[in-house]
Amino acid sequence: MPREEYKCAECGVAVWRYPSENKGTANVMCSQSCLSAFRRHGSTLFCAWCDAPFYRRFGEQDRDVRDKQFCSRQCYAEWRVSKRTSYPKEGSRHKHRIVAEAVLGRPLTQSEVVHHIDEDRQNYQPSNLAVFPSQAVHARCHFGKMSAHELQGFSLTEIAARRQARIQGDNPA
C-alpha cells in the first residue's frame, strides 16, 4: 500500500502517511507542536503592562475586558501601583481623613466625606481638601452642580479660617 499526501490541518505542510495511520482522525498533523496548537481553545492576548504576548483559554479570559488583561500577577501589581488608584494610608486610616481631623481639631463623623479638590488622591495637603457633610453633597460636586465659590466654602483652609476667626471673636485680646 503506497503512502498518500495529506496537508497538516494546522500549518498546511505536506505530510506523507499511510491511509491506515489516519483512521479515527479527521485532521492530519505534521508534528506534536502542530497538534498541540490545534487543540488549543483560546487566544493570544497582549499584556496591558509589559505588552508581552500570552495565551489564555477562552474560559479564563475576562469577558469584555480585552484591553486590561495581564500575563502575570506581577504585571498586574505593577500596573496597579502605577495607576496610583488607592488613597494613601497611615496604618488602617486614610491620610486625607487624618489631615482633615487635625485641621478641624475634632474627629470626623461617619457621614462626613473628605474630597480632593484637584482630584489627585495622593495630594492630601489641607489646601487641597474639602469636607462635605454628606455623600449627597459630595455627589453634587462631582456631577458639576456645585459652583467653585460653594466648593471653596467647604475647603479645609476656609473652615479653619472661619474657626480661627470665631475663636478670636470669642476671646478679644
Range 169-173 average pLDDT: 65
Sequence-distant (6+) residues with CB within 8 A of 90 are 98
Task: Please state whether the predicted TM-score (pTM) of the whole model is above 0.85.
Answer: no
Task: Please give the radius of gyration of the chain, using alpha carbons only, rounded to the nearest integer.
Answer: 32
- In angstroms, the CA 146 to CA 71 distance is 43
Confidence at residue 42, expressed as pLDDT on a 0 to 100 scale = 82
pLDDT band at residue 64 under the 50/70/90 scheme: low
pLDDT band at residue 78 under the 50/70/90 scheme: confident
Confidence at residue 66, expressed as pLDDT on a 0 to 100 scale = 57
pLDDT band at residue 113 under the 50/70/90 scheme: very high
Query: Does 173 have pLDDT greater than 60?
Result: no
- In angstroms, the CA 18 to CA 152 distance is 85
Confidence at residue 84, expressed as pLDDT on a 0 to 100 scale = 64
Within 10 A of 19 (CB to CB), how many other CB atoms are there? 11
Q: Which residue has the higher pLDDT, 86 or 132?
A: 132
